[in-house]
Amino acid sequence: MCVTNFNSNLMLYPLKFTPILKSKIWGGERIQKYHCHGNSAESQIGESWDVSAIPGDESVVCNGFLSENTLEEVLEVYMGDLVGEEVYKKYGNDFPLLVKLIDARDNLSIQVHPNDELAIIRHGCNGKNEMWYVMDADPGAFIIAGFKEKMSRESYLEHVKNNTLESALHKYEVKPGDVFYVPAGCVHSIGGGCLILEIQQTSDITYRIYDYNRLQDNGEPRELHTELALDAINFENNNKQNVEPVIVDSVMSHVIDSDFFTVNIMTVNRNLNYDLSVRNSFVILTCVEGEVKCED
């Protein structure tokens, strides 16, 4: 799609994007229903990338005069008018966030993400700090995040060797509305039965540590990244990762304010005028329950 059809004098409006569906070995069927796809021909949909600037997986606008243009193309033309001047000064044409839904019918692998410093050296891209909002959870569903206590490299490798790593990690039984912050370096996993909204840095770098001895369709186990993960893990991360929202007013509850993103929960049950334009940043709205109509 060529950007020459843009008229940068036209006022921007709330943009909607076409979800990018990703089939995963552990995926389920809830994402298709959430996005009103009904019975999709694709099976085991594990992720829906709802706002993405990952090369090869750029979100495409599906409403208004910018329809059929990618997020990258819109950003190149509207720059700070789209993302906010301060954000544009820091990131330029690199959109900084990836927002996705995750439907875990089965357990995800136990894994870790590198921080910015290591990811830039190894992969020439950002690291991956992320947060999870639990949208739905089967009875007994859980997530894993962080060591129960300070861990040495030697003890960690013993756990990996003996397939006992899960026993050394915090396991949280979850319910809808639970929130977790998962910084780079934190060993983690999402258990089967969870539907999760994930907000993260723009990065697709994951080091898989343990995969429950699961086999691919070809009968081979999935690749593990034991050595790569060693330098990425924060062995001192034994803090609780769950987050308690702080009520700001009758509409807004504050959740996370990190160096990478700020997250709030809005509770809307009536017609409401709420001015988000005063923020010197773009704002991404995700409806996690019910339905909402957003107008400029």
* Range in 20-29, 80-89, 198-207, 287-296 the model is least confident about: 287-296
Residue type, 250: S
Active site residue 122: no
Contacts 24+ apart (CB under 8 A), 253-259: 255/131, 255/133, 255/179, 256/131, 256/179, 256/181, 258/129, 258/131, 258/181, 258/183, 259/129
Concatenated DSSP letters of 180-247? EEE-TT--EEE-TTEEEEEEEES----EEEE-TT-B-TTSPBPP--HHHHHHH--TT--S--EE--EE
Q: Over 90: is that where the pLDDT of 203 sits? A: yes
- Tell me the pLDDT of the chain averaged across its residues: 91
Q: Over 60: is that where the pLDDT of 7 sits? A: no
Output the pTM of the full model.
0.92
* Catalytic position from the list 122, 208, 214, 279: 208
Q: Over 80: is that where the pLDDT of 36 sits? A: no
Residue with tokens 């509207």: 78
Query: Which of these, 252, 245, 241, 242, lies nearest to 275 by C-alpha position?
Result: 252
What pLDDT was estimated at residue 38? 47
202 neighbors 99 (Cβ within 8 angstroms): no
What pLDDT was estimated at residue 40? 55
The better pLDDT of the pair 66, 272 is held by: 66
172 neighbors 6 (Cβ within 8 angstroms): no
Q: What is the mean pLDDT of residues 19-35?
A: 91
108 neighbors 190 (Cβ within 8 angstroms): yes
Q: What is the mean pLDDT of residues 65-76?
A: 97
CA 148 to chain centre: 24
Residue with tokens 């929960």: 265
Tens digit of pLDDT for each residue in 111-126?
Answer: 999 999 999 999 999 9
What pLDDT was estimated at residue 17? 97
The better pLDDT of the pair 53, 268 is held by: 53
Q: How much of the chain is helix, strand and coil, in % rounded to 5?
A: 20, 30, 50
Q: How confident is the model at residue 272 (pLDDT cuts 50, 70, 90)?
A: confident
Q: How far apart are CA 127 and CA 91, in angstroms?
A: 14
Q: What is the mean pLDDT of residues 54-62?
A: 96
Q: For 4-152, where are the alpha helices, taking DSSP H only? A: 30-34, 71-78, 80-83, 85-91, 116-123
Q: What is the Cα gyration radius of the chain? A: 20
Q: Over 60: is that where the pLDDT of 39 sits? A: no
Query: Which of these, 62, 77, 61, 93, lies nearest to 4 by C-alpha position?
Result: 77
Tens digit of pLDDT for each residue in 131-190?
Answer: 999 999 999 999 999 999 989 999 999 999 999 999 999 999 999 999 999 999 999 999
Residue with tokens 């343990």: 210
